[in-house]
Amino acid sequence: MSSPVLTEKVPSRLPRRAGSARGLTFVEVMVSMAITVIVMASVFALLARGFRTTEAEFERSDLQAQARHALDQISRDLLTAGSGLPPEFPAFTPPHVNPELDASGGGPEAIEIVGYFDSSAAGAEPWPIMSFDGEKARAKMVPPHIRPGGLVLLYDDQPTHGRWVFGLVSAIDEISIPHVGELRELTIKTAPGDTEGDTTLPAFIDHYNRPSPVSGFITPVTVVSYKTGPQESGSEGSPALWRQVNWGEPVQVAFVEDLQFRYFIGTTVAETESPPVIPPPRIQGVPPPLLNSSDMDEGLEFPTVPQPDPAERLLAGELVWGVGVSVTSRSDRANREGSTVRSDQPGEHEGFLRVTFSSRVAARNVMFRLSARENQDGFN
C-alpha cells in the first residue's frame, strides 16, 4: 500500500515576528551623526594642532640656524678686530662716523670693525716707513701682504694722540737714492672718492682720518660693518643682517630682526656706542717734504714695532676688552604657535616667533698686543 503524498506547500521562511523589521528613527540617526562629527572634529583638531606645532618647530629651528649663523659670523670678525694694529688704535669705530650705519639706527644696532682679516698673513706686523708726504711712502722693503689695490693704514708711533690715515695702494715702485740704496716707493691714494681695484674710499673718509703722519708704519686693514635692513628681495618679512667690507656693496648674511651691541671698557659697559674717536680736521696746504738722502745718512731708523710714549698710551682699563652681541631672528608669518609680541610694541601688534642668541666676545687681538707691549723692554 503506497504512502500518502503531501501536497501542502511548506513555506521557505518562517514568518517574522511583529516589530522585527523596525529601523532607526530620525533622532537616533541625528544623534549618531552628531557623535561621529564630534569625534572626527576632535581627531582633526588634534591633527591640525600637531601640524601647526610641527610647522612652528621647523620654523623655530630655521630661526635658530639664522640667528646662530649671524652670531658666528659677527663673532669671528670681532675676534680678529685690531689685528695688525697697535692696541690703542680704535678697532671699533663709532657708528656715527659712518653715515650709512648712523642712518640705520646707529648706536647699539650697528658696528664697524677694523683689523686685518686675511688669514694668509695672520700675525703680520706693521711695516716701518721712512717717510710719507701724503701721496708717496718710502720703505726699505715691502712685505708681500701689502700689495697694489689693498686698503692700508699709515700711522706714526703715537697712535693715541698721533696721526693716521686710510689709503689705497696704487703702485709699488723701486727707486734708488744715492748713499742710501734701493728703496720701495708706494703711491697711496687718500682722498674721498679715490678708487683702486674694487675699493673706493667713501666720501666721509676724513671722519676716520687724522692728519697724515710724516713717517711711522703701514699695515693692511679691512673695515667690516654690520647693520640690519630690509631683505634683498624687498619683500615684506623679517629684516636681514647685512655685512659690508671696505665700504663696498653690502651682502645679506641672515634674516635678523634685531641686533644689539654692548662694549666692555675696563669695569664699565657702554650701551650706546663704542669709545668716541674725534678726528682733527684734515690739514690743508703744502704737505711735509720727503726725507732727503742727507737725513737718511744720519742714521734715521724706526723701531720694528710701534713704541708709543708710556706716559701717553692708554691702559688696559681704558680699552675695549670685549663686546656683547645679541641677535634676534623673527618669523615671516604672524601669529604662529608660540608667537610673542615685543615688549616695546603696543598690544595690538601681531605676534611672531622669535629666537634670540647672545654672546660675549673678547677682543683678544687688542688685549694680546697690549700684553705684548707691556712685556717689551722699557715698558714694564
Query: For residue range 66-81, what is the model confidence (pLDDT) as tens digits?
Result: 899 999 999 999 988 8
Per-residue pLDDT, averaged over 203-216, amounts to: 87
- Starting at the edge strand found earlier in the chain, the sheet holding 131-132 runs 127-129, 216-220, 151-155, 164-177, 181-189, 136-139, 131-132
- Judge whether residue 289 has pLDDT over 50: no
Q: What is the pLDDT of residue 121?
A: 52
- Judge whether residue 296 has pLDDT over 50: no
Q: What is the pLDDT of residue 283?
A: 41
The tens digit of pLDDT for each residue in 331-365 reads 877 766 666 676 666 555 677 888 899 999 888 78
Which range in 91-95, 305-309, 340-344 is most confidently predicted, on average pLDDT?
A: 91-95
Phi, psi of 31 (to 5 degrees): -65, -45
The answer to whether 241 and 259 are in contact (CB under 8 A) is yes
Per-residue pLDDT, averaged over 305-320, amounts to: 71
More reliable by pLDDT, 242 or 234: 242
**pLDDT band for position 62 (50/70/90)?**
confident
**pLDDT band for position 11 (50/70/90)?**
low
Q: Can you tell me the distance from the alpha carbon of 288 to that of 137, in angstroms, rounded to the nearest whole number? A: 12
The tens digit of pLDDT for each residue in 37-59 reads 888 888 887 777 766 666 767 77
More reliable by pLDDT, 101 or 299: 101
The tens digit of pLDDT for each residue in 210-222 reads 888 888 899 999 9
The tens digit of pLDDT for each residue in 358-374 reads 999 888 788 777 777 77
The answer to whether 62 and 255 are in contact (CB under 8 A) is no
**pLDDT band for position 89 (50/70/90)?**
confident
b (16+ CB within 10 A) / e for 124-160: bebbbbbbbbbbbbbbeebeebbeeebbbbbbbbbbe
- pTM of the predicted protein model: 0.76
Tally of CB atoms within 10 A around 275: 15
Q: What is the pLDDT of residue 18?
A: 56
